Structure 1
Amino acid sequence: MKLGRLPVRKIIKRSVLAVAAVQGATLGALAITDHRRKKSRRHVVFPRVPPRSVTTGGSEVTLYTYGEDLYADMLGAIRQARLQIYFETFIWKADPVGFEFKQALLDAAERGVRVYIVYDEFANLVVPRSFFRFPKHPNLRVKPHRLIGFGFRWPRQTGRDHRKLLVVDDDVAFIGGYNIGSLYATNWRDTHARLTGDIVWDMQNAFIDYWNLFPRRRLPQLPDTGGLVWQPNIRLYRNVPKNLVFPIRGMYLDAIDRASHHIYLTHAYLIPDEDMVRALLQAADRGVDVRIIVPEESNHIVADWLSRGFYSQLLRGGVRLFLYQGAMVHAKTACIDGQWSTIGTANIDRLSLQGNYEMNIEVFSDAVAGQLEEIFAMDSSNCRELTLDEWHSRPAMVKFSESVLTPFRPLL
C-alpha cells in the first residue's frame, strides 16, 4: 500500500510545485512590466469639470474631479480652522503637496487649533520615515495605523486604514478617493466630496470612533457627543474590521437590487465577489443599463489581471465595460436611477468590502446623482468600450495567465 501511494504523492507534490512555479513566473513577469510602465510615466491630460455644489437636505455637497482643485480647498479649510482638525489619509507622499499639507497642519497647531492626524503605516513604507516625524506640541496628536501582524484574529488584526477624511471645526468635511501627493494632484482622475451642514457631525463622529477604537498611552481619548439632528438625505457607512462590521458591501447590494433603469459604476479596481457579480447580472437581465468604468491600466497590474478574469462573465450577461484611457481613474462612485449615489473610499474588491477600514456616503438626491451622471458621461468620453467579441479574441497566452492568477482573487 505504501509503495502504491508514493507515486501519487509525488505526482501531487510535483503538480502543486509546477502550478506554483507558473504562478510565480506570471507574477514576476507582471511585476517587471509594471516597473517599466511606471518608469516611463508622463504627465497626462484628461477631461474634468470644475467643482460644483448642490444642496440636499441640511447639507451642501461639492464634487471634485481634479486633485489641484480639491487640495486648494482642503488647505484653505485647514488654514481657516479655529477649534480642531481631524485629518486621516491612506497614502501621504513626502513631496511638495505632502509637505504643504504637513506645514499647514503644523501651522494650525501653532495658532492654537487642536490637530489630530491618522495615516496608514503600511501604505507609506516607501515614504521616508523622517517625513512622519512631528515636533512635540500640546495641540498636535499623531496616531499611525500600524501593521499589527497576522494571526487567528485576521482580518480584525490586519485591516488597513484606507479612509481619506478631513474634518475642520464643525463646518466642513472632505471624503473620497484622493490620497495626498503631487501625482494625484494632476495625473489621477479621482472623485472627492466636500460636505457642509448636518452631515459634518457624522464625519466628526466617524473619526472620533476610529481614534478611540485604538487607545494608546499618552494619546487622549476624544469626547463622544451625540448629534443634534438626524440627516435623512445622506448616510455614512463605515467598515470596521476590528469589530467585523462591513456595511458598505450590503449598501451596494441593496442599491443594485433596487435598480430599475440604470447603474453607473466607476471603480479603480473591480474584483467583485459572487454576490456582487450575481446582483449586477440580475440587474442587466431585468433590463437595467449597467455600465462600469475601470482603468485600462491601473497602478496595480496584478489587480488589473485579476479583474479581467470577470470580464467574460459580465460582458456575456449584458454588463457594459468602459476602459479609461491615458490616466489612472481612482474614483469609487456609483449612481443609480438618477436618485441614489455613493462616494467614498471603498473599491469593489475583497480588501475594501471585507478587509479594510473604509468610509462611503450614501446620498438620496437627484441633484447629486445628476452631477455624478454628468461626471460619468464626461469620463465615458475618455473611454473605449470593451466588446465581448474583442475580449474573446485576446491571445491564448493571456487567457492562460488570467486563469493561473484566479486563486489570488480572494486576496484582493
Structure 2
Amino acid sequence: MIDFLKDNIWVFVIVLNYILVISAVTTILFKNINPTKTLSYIMVLVVFPYLGLIVYYFFGQEYRKNKIFNRKNVLNKNVVQKLDREYKLSKSQLHKLDEFLDTKMKLVKLMNNNKNTPVTLKNELQIIKNGKEKFKLLFEDLKQAKHHIHLEYYILKDDHIGTKLIDILCEKASEGIKVRLTFDDVGSKISWKTKRRLKDNGVEFYAFMPVLFPNFTGKMNYRNHRKIAIIDGEIGYVGGINIADAYVNYKDDTTYWRDTHLRIVGEALKPLQVHFLMTWDFVSNSSCDISVELFPNSDVQTTKAVQIAASGPDTDWANIMEAMFVAINTAENYVYVTTPYFIPNDEIVTALQVAAKSGIDVRLLIPKESDSWIAKYATNSYLERLLEAEVRVYRYTKGFIHAKTMVVDDLFSTIGTSNLDYRSFNINFEINALIYNKETSVELKDLFLDDILNSEELSLESWQKRSKYCKLKESYSRLWSPLL
C-alpha cells in the first residue's frame, strides 16, 4: 500500500487539487459575479494547479459579503445612534442644498442611503499641499491636545519625521492625554525599541491585521490604507500623506513628492471619529468605551457641506467608487482627476469616456514615473481608450504625484486615500471627504491646473506609436491588476 502511494503520489496530489478546484468553482458560480471575472478565476484554477487555489484564496473571495470585522459594537452604542439621528437633514436643509447642488444632489442622496455617511453642514476646510505643510499644522494641533489623540495610518515609519511624531505622542500620553494609534502592519516599519518606548509612555497602539513576515507579504492582504488624525474630536486630517520622510521632500536629491491632504474643523469630525472607533474596536479586540467627550459640539458657523465616505471589506457597498461614478456621470462642465494609480474598473472607464464624448472637459493627471513599474504599465494600458474618447491625459514630470483628488463643476470635490484602482475599490480600507462647496472646489481646481504646468500632455497620435514591446508589458501588467 505504501509503495503504491509512493508510486502514485503525483496522481493523488493532482486529484486533490482538482477536488478543491471543483469546490472553488462551484462557490464562484453561486456568487453570480461578473462573467469575465468568473471565467478568469476558473481559468486560473484549472490551468495552474495549487497556484490557482492560492490566488483565489487571497483575491477571489468576496469579503464585502463575508465581513472581516463586526461593526455592531460601535454602531449599537447610544452615543453613535444619537449622532445618526442628529445629522439627518430636515426637508428645508435638503431644499437649500438642492438649490445649490442641482444634479449633485444625487451624490448626497446616494451617500445618505449608505450607512454612516451623514451630510454635515458646518465645517471649516483647509487644503494642504505636500507633507511639509501638513506636518507643521498637524504637530501644532497635536501639541495643543487636551483630551485625546486618535491616529490611523497605512504607513508609519520611525524615521526622521516619524520620530518627531512619536516624540509628541509620548509627551502627550505622559501628560495624561489619551493617545490611540493604529497602523497597518504591512505598510509600516517600526522598531521594537520604538514600540517599547510608546508602551512605556502610555500610548495605546495596535497593528492592523498583523502578519508574520510583512516584508514578504507585499500587497497580498486586505490592508488599511486610511490616513486619519483626530485631535480632541474637534480637528481632523484626511488625505494621501502618510508618516514617512518620503512625503516631506527633505533632500534635493530624492524624488519630489507631490501630495494633497485636508484639515477639517467642524461637524464632519463626528462621522470621522465613528470610523476610527470602528477600526479601533477591531484592532484592540475589545469593546470600545465610547463617551460623549469623544464627540464635542462644534461652534463652527461656516457652511461647507461634507460627507465622510468610507469604503472597504467592512462596508456594504463600494461607497467611494459609487460616489466618483455618480460625480462623473452628473458632470456638466468639467471633471479633473488626480491619482497616482489608475487601474480602474470598466464602470469608471466608461463614465470618463462618455463624459468626454458628451463635450465635458475631462482631464486625468497621473505620474510619468511610478514607484511600481508594474502599476505604471498597467495604468498605461488604459490610456489609449481614454485618449480616443478625447479625455485629456497628463503625466506629472516634476516628481511623483501621490494626490488622490477629484473636482467637478466648481461644486463637488473629494480628497482622501482612495486611488482609482482595483485595490482601493475592492480590497483596501479607504476613506474620503466628499465636499460640496464652491470655494474649496475652485481652490482644488486651481491646484490641479497648477500641477499640469509641471506635466506633459499625451496625444493619441504619439501614444499609438509606442513600441509593441511596450504594449506587451502593458497587457501583461494589466492581467495582474487585482494584485497591484
TM-score by length of 2: 0.68
Whichever of the two has the greater Rg, that structure is: 2
Distance 1:138 1:383, change over 3 A: closer
Secondary structure of 2:343's partner? coil
Aligned twin of 1:146: 209
Secondary structure of 1:346's partner? coil
CA distance in 1, matches of 2:350, 2:227: 29
Unaligned 5+ residue runs, structure 2? 1-42, 52-119, 213-219, 250-255
Identity %: 28
Note the alpha carbon deviations across 1:314-350, whole angstroms, 9 max, x for none.
Answer: 1111111100013110000000011000000000001
Aligned twin of 2:380: 308
Kindly indicate whether residue 438 of structure 2 is the aligned counterpart of residue 366 of structure 1. Answer: yes
| Higher alpha-carbon deviation: 130-139 or 258-267 | 130-139
Equivalent of residue 64 in structure 1, options 113, 124, 128: 128
Distance 1:232 1:192, change over 3 A: closer
The alpha carbon displacement at 1:135 in A equals 4.0
TM-score by length of 1: 0.80
Aligned twin of 2:458: 386
Aligned twin of 1:98: 162
The alpha carbon displacement at 1:93 in A equals 1.9
Distance 1:135 1:124, change over 3 A: closer
Q: How does 1:4-403 map to 2 (within 5 A)?
A: 57-124=121-188, 127-136=190-199, 139-147=202-210, 158-186=221-249, 187-216=256-285, 221-223=288-290, 233-403=305-475
- Residue type of the alignment partner of 1:96: H
Contact 1:212 1:222 in 2 (8 A): no
- Residue type of the alignment partner of 1:205: V
Unaligned 5+ residue runs, structure 1? 1-11, 21-55, 150-156
Contact 1:59 1:195 in 2 (8 A): yes
Contact 1:205 1:224 in 2 (8 A): no
CA distance in 2, matches of 1:353, 1:224: 32
Contact 1:148 1:158 in 2 (8 A): no
CA distance in 2, matches of 1:216, 1:228: 29
CA distance in 1, matches of 2:234, 2:364: 34
Contact 1:113 1:139 in 2 (8 A): no
- Residue type of the alignment partner of 1:216: N
CA distance in 2, matches of 1:389, 1:130: 56
CA distance in 2, matches of 1:379, 1:138: 42
Q: CA RMSD in A?
A: 2.5
Distance 1:227 1:107, change over 3 A: closer
The alpha carbon displacement at 1:411 in A equals 2.4
Equivalent residue pairs, number:
352
The alpha carbon displacement at 1:401 in A equals 1.7
Distance 1:133 1:245, change over 3 A: farther
CA distance in 1, matches of 2:353, 2:362: 9
- Residue type of the alignment partner of 2:245: S
The structure where helix makes up a greater share of residues is 2
